[in-house]
């Protein structure tokens, strides 16, 4: 079961928030909260708030065990940009872009995360291919002789 929590229109640049979000992807929830608690950035507080909301949703709405939750993905999308202008020299104006972000965190139980692993390598080890027809089999025998 996947649980998603989203916070929209956060007054923070997406570029700054993505640095923090990349650090917690794929981690268990308890480790991610520890990292976010001791990260001295504004983005860490906002992502931690969204993560706590996702944990509460998983526990209360979907009856999932919080000890087994893993962060599947933490996505920071760009929101609308507020455009302001500041006067510059000789009557011109310089644009000031006040960017916003949408924070989305998806949690998944640890048992589901293990099921989505790559297939076993036993199938990949089979390198010997059977001949397609009798003619090719005869040709390979003649070549080997």
What are the pLDDT digits (tens) for 70-117?
999 999 999 999 999 999 999 999 999 999 999 999 999 876 545 555
Residue 121 pLDDT: 62
Q: How far is CA 71 from CA 49, 60, 110, in A?
A: 14, 17, 9
Q: Is the pLDDT score of 31 beyond 90? A: yes
Q: What is residue 125's DSSP assignment?
A: G
Question: Which helix or strand (DSSP H or E) is residue 75 part of?
Answer: strand 69-78
Residue 78 pLDDT: 96
Place of tokens 């006067």: 87
Q: What is the mean pLDDT of residues 56-61?
A: 93
Instruction: DSSP for 90-105, please give it.
Output: GG-EEEEEE--EEEEE
**CA pseudo-torsion sign 40, 44, 46, 51:** negative
Distance, CA of 24 to CA of 15 (rounded, Å): 16
- Give the domains, in start order, of the chain with CATH numbers: 2-83+96-117 (3.90.470.10)
């Amino acid at each position: 079961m996947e649980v998603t929590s989203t916070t929209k229109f956060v007054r923070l640049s997406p570029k700054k928030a993505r640095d923090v979000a990349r650090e917690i992807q794929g981690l268990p929830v308890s480790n991610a909260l520890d990292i976010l608690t001791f990260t001295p950035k504004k983005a860490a507080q906002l992502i931690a708030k969204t993560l706590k909301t996702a944990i509460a949703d998983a526990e209360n709405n979907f009856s999932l065990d919080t000890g087994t939750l893993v962060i599947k993905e933490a996505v920071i999308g760009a929101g609308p940009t507020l455009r302001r202008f500041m006067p510059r020299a000789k009557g011109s104006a310089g644009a000031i872009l006040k960017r916003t972000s949408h924070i989305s965190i998806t949690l998944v139980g640890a048992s589901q995360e293990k099921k989505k692993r790559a297939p076993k390598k036993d199938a990949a080890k089979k390198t010997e291919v059977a001949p397609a027809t009798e003619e090719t089999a005869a040709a390979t025998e003649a070549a080997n002789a």
